[in-house]
Amino acid sequence: MGAVQRIETERPAPALKDAIEGFLARMPNPNTARAYSTALRALAERFGSRTPVTTVNARLNALASAGDWWRDQGWITDDPLRRLKRRPVDPGRTRSLDRAEVGELLSRKGIALRERTLWCLLYESAARTSEVLELDAEDLDLRNRRARVRRKGGAADVIVWRTGTARLLPRLLAGRRTGPVFTTARRARVELPPADIDAGSGKARLSYRRAAELFEAATGGRTLHQLRHSALTHAAEDGANTSTLLAFSGHTSVASLARYARVSPEALARWQAGRDPAARRR
Write the pLDDT tens digit of every residue in 104-140. 999 999 999 999 999 999 999 999 999 999 999 999 9
The letter for the amino acid at 262 is R
What are the residue boundaries of the structural domains of the chain, listed by start? 16-89, 92-224
Q: What is the mean pLDDT of the chain?
A: 81
Q: Give the strand pairing for 140-141 and 146-150.
A: antiparallel
Least-confidence region, from 62-71, 178-187, 193-202: 62-71
The top-scoring range by mean pLDDT among 51-60, 69-78, 203-212 is: 203-212
Long-range contacts of 35-44 (CB under 8 A, 24+ apart): 35/62, 35/130, 35/208, 36/62, 36/65, 36/66, 38/207, 38/208, 38/209, 39/63, 40/66, 42/209, 44/16, 44/17, 44/20
Write the pLDDT tens digit of every residue in 229-246. 999 999 988 888 889 999
Contact by Cβ (8 Å): 222, 198: no
From the candidate CATH numbers 3.40.50.300, 3.30.70.100, 1.20.1260.10, 1.10.443.10, the one assigned to the domain spanning 92-224:
1.10.443.10
Least-confidence region, from 61-75, 103-117, 167-181: 61-75
Residue 228 has pLDDT above 80, yes or no: yes
**pTM score, two decimals?**
0.66
Nearest Cα to 260, choosing from 234, 239, 229? 229
Neighbours of 180 (CB within 10 A): 20
CA–CA distances in Å: residue 4 to residues 8, 9, 10, 36, 86 = 13, 15, 19, 45, 50
CA–CA distances in Å: residue 84 to residues 48, 59, 68, 74, 167 = 15, 11, 15, 22, 45
Q: How confident is the model at residue 5 (pLDDT cuts 50, 70, 90)?
A: very low
How confident is the model at residue 49, as a pLDDT?
40
Q: How confident is the model at residue 2 (pLDDT cuts 50, 70, 90)?
A: very low
CA 28 to chain centre: 19
